[in-house]
Amino acid sequence: MKNQNTINVSINRPKGKYILPLLKGMCYTLRQLFTKPITIEYPEQKREVSKRWRGLHRLKTNDKGDLKCVACGLCVTICPPDAIKVVPYEDEGGRRYPKEFIIDEIRCIFCGFCAEACPMDAIELTKVYDYVDYNRNDFIFDISKLKTPEKFIFKGK
């Protein structure tokens, strides 16, 4: 006696249906073998960033190597996240310098307002975008670090 619960399932597999897509896939793979790769060997290789890119800051110097900054504090006032600290100093000749100039690069939102507001063209945002470290304190840049942001480009291990 035939079991009433038996369900007959027939799978319709048309012959050759998968051959064409398979060949197409293999052709695509083969073509990629002879195509120039679009990936790069980061961090040894770097991509060019946009001209408008805003990365780590640089404090600019004049021909004598002195900071152009006169510690006016405009950048401090305009900075939205309060990431800049400037301690002014005035020498006997009345020349003003920043005794201390600190940017917290973690607080910074890289808006570029500080560079735009600066009346002395003393600060700029560079194209350095991949500074990495394990310690938050290392992201607090003082004058010596701000003079040479390129030193902090990530080069791998």
For every residue of 14-79, DSSP letters joined together read: -TTTTHHHHHHHHHHHHHHHTSPPS---TTTS-PPPPTT---SEEE-B-TTS-B------HHHHH-
**55, 56, 58, 122: which one contacts ligand SF4 (CB under 6 A)?**
122
Q: Residue 21 phi/psi, 5° resolution? A: -60, -35
86 binds ligand SF4 (CB under 6 A): yes
Q: Shortest distance, CB of residue 88 to ligand SF4, whole angstroms? A: 8
For ligand SF4, the binding residues in 26-45 under the rule CB under 6 A are none
**56, 79, 128, 146: which one contacts ligand SF4 (CB under 6 A)?**
79
The contact mask relative to ligand SF4 for 136-155 (x = CB under 6 A, - = no) is --------------------
Question: CA 56: distance to chain centroid?
Answer: 9
123 binds ligand SF4 (CB under 6 A): yes
128 binds ligand SF4 (CB under 6 A): no
Are 97 and 88 in contact, with CB atoms under 8 Å apart?
yes
Strand partners of residue 7: none
Are 27 and 123 in contact, with CB atoms under 8 Å apart?
no
Q: Shortest distance, CB of residue 61 to ligand SF4, whole angstroms? A: 12
Q: Report the interface residues with ligand SF4, using CB under 6 A.
A: 69-75, 78-81, 83-84, 86, 103, 108-114, 117-118, 120, 122-123
